[in-house]
Structure 1
């Protein structure tokens, strides 16, 4: 073999080695790029999960806050119901008075109290004598013999008004049933 052939072979070997090194470098670079891509994908996934968790947290706290306001209002309104009952009984007596100025003044105060409570969401449970009894909407205090056959198993009298706040009954009406 000649010196020239040997040099050519050595050059080819060096070129092959360089080619292999370049491939390895490219593979390392691709590997780094792939690693970075994978890290990016993982970080995006973490971000999306965190974002979804935060959105759920906002919704949950919003619902809890609304419920808190409802229950806080409910307690205040429930404590006002005995006052409203007393006022209704007092109004029944005062409305029979001959003093028109007194009647008009008390009527205005009575209406203002009722309208204020209604504006806060308080509603009267609409039950009257002659209605069918439903234990989901009224509380039976006692049963008496029905004054007429058509009142058998029905409400004979409403002793105490019931109230609801939104869709929830906060005080059931107390009724007397005919049997």
Structure 2
């Protein structure tokens, strides 16, 4: 016997029981069972729709977040590759600024500022650490330890060897420092 036949027989038995129990006619009993079935189907479909809608909203949020993260990481790689160039330019600027040729100094200063402002506009920031700050391994990388020149520099940063940079809240290169021991 097929499943459809079994379901039909069960429905007929329910209808007969309903008719025998009370003053309900056979047509009314069929109407009630069909209406109840429709209500159940409607409730199932509503639940299915709400779950599907919630799943789609979660999907939209997740893909949006992934897209933003992708843009950040793509930008991060380019900025990290530019950091050695910026370091070289900073060292060159220190030497050029000592020159007596004002036109050369002014020209190099303009290029240096333009490079820095372009990188800053892309989200690059310098990690601010200076001599005398307390060493924190979460924000700096210790290259070496030397005897502290004074007692107040013990456990503190004596010198900053290389600047650190961050992109947004994430440090993409830790500053390299010397610590007093």
Which TM class, normalised by the smaller chain length? Answer: 0.7 to 0.9
Q: Any idea what SS the aligned residue of 2:100 has?
A: coil
Q: What TM-score results when the alignment is normalised by the length of structure 2?
A: 0.85
What is the CA distance between 1:121 and its match in structure 2?
Answer: 1.0
RMSD: 1.6
Deviations 1:19-55 (A, max 9, x none): 98x7112111111111111111111111111000000
Unaligned runs of 5+ in 2: 1-18
Query: Partners in 2 of 1:150 and 1:47 — Cα distance?
Result: 67
- Equivalent pairs counted in the alignment come to 161
Residue aligning to 2:66: 64
Question: In structure 2, what is the Cα distance between the partners aligned to 1:48 and 1:172?
Answer: 47
Following superposition, which runs of at least 4 residues in structure 1 exceed 3 angstroms of deviation? none
Q: Secondary structure at the match of 1:97?
A: coil
Q: Which residue of 1 aligns with 2:141?
A: 139
Matched, 1:120 2:122: yes
Note the C-alpha offset of 1:125. 0.6
How far apart are 1:153 and its partner, in Å?
A: 1.4
Aligned to 2:163: 161
Secondary structure of 1:135's counterpart equals coil
Question: What are the Cα deviations for residues 124-167 of structure 1, in whole angstroms up to 9, with x where unaligned?
Answer: 11101111111111111011111112111111100000001111
- What does residue range 44-123 of structure 1 map to in structure 2 within 5 Å? 44-123=46-125
Q: What TM-score does the superposition give when structure 1 sets the normalisation length?
A: 0.86
Deviation at residue 119 of structure 1 after TM alignment: 1.1
